[in-house]
Structure 1
């Protein structure tokens, strides 16, 4: 039997593919490292060569999903007909571009990070996603400031502060998911949508934009996410 030699890049991508497939179908809690290495056809030693833990794997998967989302948004972000505000809405409104049918998988995978006992994992994933998004946001803020349509005197610092607002979403997401599990879907969805609206409003205020300029998610996305099975 011929042994197939794969490059580290290929093997890493395959591991992430396996993790995403299993996390999305079974949920993060119900997927073990043994499940992943069995699906990937590698040894446990090979797994630990790439990832120190299942949490590290989830962190890497979150970063890859962020990069994929940005890549899908690239045509919009580079559209010469959009000004900086249009690009901000394209970037911050990424949830709008997540297809509603993806909601069950997203919830199935990432609800674990919003639990209070997993605050360290939540911050690790947030840092991984921020590393992907912050440079793009910095560029948009610099462009908008130069155009005179928003106020970001230090684009990099302001970008980092705006992304820090997301940390307040963790407890709200956890509470909303708990309410949804208890059958209070309408209350949970309304609470989550209101917090997302306020998130956009906070960005408006920081950048000195008219209220309602930045839209964080389309109507109905919160319910689709919370009502996912």
Structure 2
């Protein structure tokens, strides 16, 4: 029986769809390449034509999730009724809402990426997400500078710094998730909420805003994220 010929982008999307479903159902470690190609109805040779490894597939999946998330958040960045500070705060609020909605899937992904042996993979995935977000954040900062809301001499460099600061959350999120899994929800939520609050303060000071201007965490976010799913 001849397999239907499909465009490469369609085959790639099908593999990503299968991988996402299996990773989220079984976990990354318990899903093999054979599982994915069986679900997609492809040969192993076809799989390796599109992806060099299972790790490369996870990286591509993370980039797709980041693109989808940014597409959801784009209206907040374009909202003409908000000033630059309002758009930045709306971006944080919208991101937290998506994180709670996708918490079960994200926790499965984080469980893989936060392992010490996966540091290189974590940075590859983070780089893919940062490259997508960087121009959007830089544009927001540039418009804020034009409005006089931010003191940002180089929007692209400052956007990169804001995104780089996020890397400190790898260890914090890993610790919070481990504590939550052990039943210590209160301590885990307190740890995550406090570090996110301080992230907001760091952004305030980088942009020369009064402390508390940027709301990097909404009340109850950490608990909702850690308990979801």
Instruction: Normalising by structure 1, report the TM-score.
Output: 0.93
For the aligned residue pairs, the C-alpha RMSD in angstroms reads: 1.6
Q: What residue number does 2:131 align with?
A: 131
Q: What residue number does 2:225 align with?
A: 225
**Whole-angstrom CA distance in 1 between matches of 2:223 and 2:52:** 35
**Whole-angstrom CA distance in 2 between matches of 1:78 and 1:150:** 17
**Whole-angstrom CA distance in 1 between matches of 2:180 and 2:7:** 44
Q: Is the 8 A contact 1:200 1:212 kept in 2?
A: yes
Q: Is the 8 A contact 1:199 1:216 kept in 2?
A: yes
Give CA deviations for 1:132-156 in whole Å, capped at 9, x if unaligned. Answer: 1000000000000111101111000
**Whole-angstrom CA distance in 1 between matches of 2:38 and 2:221:** 35
Q: Structure 2 matches for 1:85-164, cutoff 5 A?
A: 85-98=85-98, 100-164=100-164
**Length, aligned pairs only:** 229
Q: Structure 2 matches for 1:42-121, cutoff 5 A?
A: 42-98=42-98, 100-121=100-121
**Bigger RCO of structures 1 and 2 (CA < 8 A, at least 6 apart):** 1
**Whole-angstrom CA distance in 1 between matches of 2:74 and 2:155:** 20
Inter-CA distance 111–94: structure 2 relative to 1 (3 Å threshold): farther
Determine if the alignment matches structure 1 residue 166 to structure 2 residue 163. Answer: no
3-state DSSP of counterpart to 2:110: helix
**Whole-angstrom CA distance in 2 between matches of 1:86 and 1:19:** 37
Q: What 5-or-longer segments of structure 2 have no aligned partner?
A: none
Q: Is the 8 A contact 2:100 2:228 kept in 1?
A: no
C-alpha displacement at 1:90, in angstroms?
2.7
Give CA deviations for 1:47-68 in whole Å, capped at 9, x if unaligned. Answer: 1112111111111111111111
Q: What residue number does 1:5 align with?
A: 5
3-state DSSP of counterpart to 1:200: helix
Determine if the alignment matches structure 1 residue 178 to structure 2 residue 178. Answer: yes
Give CA deviations for 1:29-53 in whole Å, capped at 9, x if unaligned. Answer: 2211111111111111111112111
Q: What residue number does 1:211 align with?
A: 211
Deviates more, 1:9-18 or 1:210-219: 210-219
Q: Is the 8 A contact 1:95 1:218 kept in 2?
A: no
C-alpha displacement at 1:74, in angstroms?
1.9
Determine if the alignment matches structure 1 residue 38 to structure 2 residue 38. Answer: yes
3-state DSSP of counterpart to 2:213: coil
**Whole-angstrom CA distance in 1 between matches of 2:44 and 2:103:** 31
Q: What residue number does 1:201 align with?
A: 201
Q: What 5-or-longer segments of structure 1 have no aligned partner?
A: none
**Whole-angstrom CA distance in 2 between matches of 1:104 and 1:24:** 8
